[in-house]
Structure 1
Amino acid sequence: MKKLSIQIIFTLLIASLFFGCKKDASTNIVTSPSVGSLSFKSSASNVVLSATTDATNVVTFSFKAANFGVSIIPTYSLEFDLPSDTSGINAWGNAIAVKLPSGILEKAYLGADFNSLLANQLMLPTGSVSTLAVRLKAEVNQNTGTASVIKPIYSSISITVNPYKATIEYPALLLKGGNSWKTPTVRTNGFILTSAKFNSKYEGYLNLPNADGYGGDAFQLVSSKDATKVYGWGGTSTTMSLTGGNLYLSPAPAYMKVNADVDALTINYTAVKFFISGDDNGWSTSSTPMIYNATTGKLVAANVSLTAGKTFVFTCNGGYDISYKVDATGALVYAGAPTWGGINIPVAKTGVFTVTLDLSAGDGNYTYSVK
């Protein structure tokens, strides 16, 4: 009897182990979740960006956790791409991938960060609407971090975006008025020279408004990187020093192109008057002048007749030595001596327009508009 009881207990033990193993095995079966179960979505279907949205949450991408049937935490990434790159043998090959922290099921973007992704990384055109493809990638990695044999799950959506050209805050020399000239005490467009190549060379356009000349337009240049470095008179009108008094540019009043080199301690300036020269005025360098607006710091030509398909250039002082065209992306670039580069600015449609040239933000941030 005792022997029989032991046999029964042993049989029950084997059975329990068998069913326990079967149950454990069933909990370790990997099953791929459906794409729909991820519920991948965007908080906005159309995102328009500007400087005013830089500090605002403009879009949030969210989704539900992917259930692969086992007790693991998947790794998630968002991929951003152009629709034209989402098919074919190298689909999504140029996507910008953003990995999310473990356990995080959403990604919110401030305007400045999203604009940088669109304009700088994806190089979408600024000031116009584009379609953006966004893909969620859910994957199971091995403990080592390498990819496993389990295939990733993807879910894609698309939204429209309109990024803007952000002004880069280049190193600058800030204009500090002397004598009777009162200038802003903080960095202000129209009162700065900037270093677009982050070197010792600075450039900008300054308006010397005072008819009393030397006394009224005296100034110094203060480094935005080190406020203790104040550049002033270097002994001549084209030299600077860190120990001199006020600089004086002449003639005044005048609108000046100013170049300064803080290593060579030199400063050069040219009084300028800008014109629009193009197909519609026979490429005249004098018939379509631009007027400087001291309030806005911009050059403006009103009632300009332009024809679709034709081109124009911003010229200066009756010639092309100082002139501006555009590059392949449509950004305004210097096209004068000695580089002689750029592409003539194309006219998009026929009409009568106000053309604006804005040189107030310093080298690297020159812009124009046709409205």
Structure 2
Amino acid sequence: MKKYINKLFILGSLLFLGSSCENDAELTTLKAVSFPSEISVSTTKIVLTEDTADDQVLLVSWPEVAFPVEAPVTYALQFDLVGDTSGANAWLKAKRIEVGTDVLSKTLIGQELNKIAVDLGLPIDVEGKLVVRVEAAMDRKVFSNPITLTVTPYEKSVVFGEIYMPGAYQGEWNVDTANSLPAIAKGVYQGYVTVLPGYGPVFKLNTERNWAQFYGAGAANSDMVNMSTKDFALPGEGSFQIKVNLNTLKWTAAPYSWGIVGDGTAGGWDNSTPMNYDYQTKTWKVTATLVPGNVKFRLNNNWTINYGSKNATDGIAYLDDSGAHYVGEGGTYEITMKINDVDPASLGYPPTLTYTITKK
């Protein structure tokens, strides 16, 4: 009997060792991974000004990093001061920009790089040194060798004022109550508008809440001509981010919509229910049927910019927070959201927004 027990023990040990060897073959964390060659930049010396705030000032490119497992690789940029890239706390203060999956380059415009430089503490209007490296991540993170940049940042001017947008989206053309677009730079204004079904897309742009001076369309819809009787036209129904540049006499409209998402909403976790922009209260709103479940807020029907709440009582949601507002009872709800995102391109999105979810 003892002989059979010993044989069973030996057989079990062999099976265990075989299984262990097979599992070892699947382990990848001990295999070396690195960038196959150096990263590159379009320039190493950059003088930033307000005039180049919207220009492409830096292109960072890198080679594809191969991990032992075939899966998407996520890349990001890290910027830091030269003195903060060594020692026990190396790169802990770095500014990180996630680029995306299997993307091998990233272009930065002037205001993006200026914000990074100022946030890291480079002096205004003085040459300073930054370093940039690329992060590649899958089952772990690996980093490229850094490149040193000489950057001269500028101080963004404090601007005031607004321009007005009377148009068919109001239901009636009324410059006294028209949407206002606040200034975000010298001569540059930005805001939001929703064109509801049944309302027209046309509008004018007025410098005051009167008709003493206004702009209409020129040869192209995007051209601004002083006192032109030809209306501008938005692309159609929906919500848009409007940018007006009196320096270049051009304007643009880009699709831009906040929405609710979650298993408490009609679209679940995959499709946002869009909200409409109330230009009079500067608030995003929607009336929707909810079921018991969670509700979060996200921009443009994707997860790049999203907010989640830590509870269902204080009406505050936090940028990139994993939490959500839990709705315990199904029914029709009015949901409002307010966010100070006047100039997200240069200032980023704020850490919080405020909201209400009220059963009707």
Q: TM-score range by the shorter chain?
A: 0.3 to 0.5
TM value normalised by structure 1:
0.36
TM value normalised by structure 2:
0.37
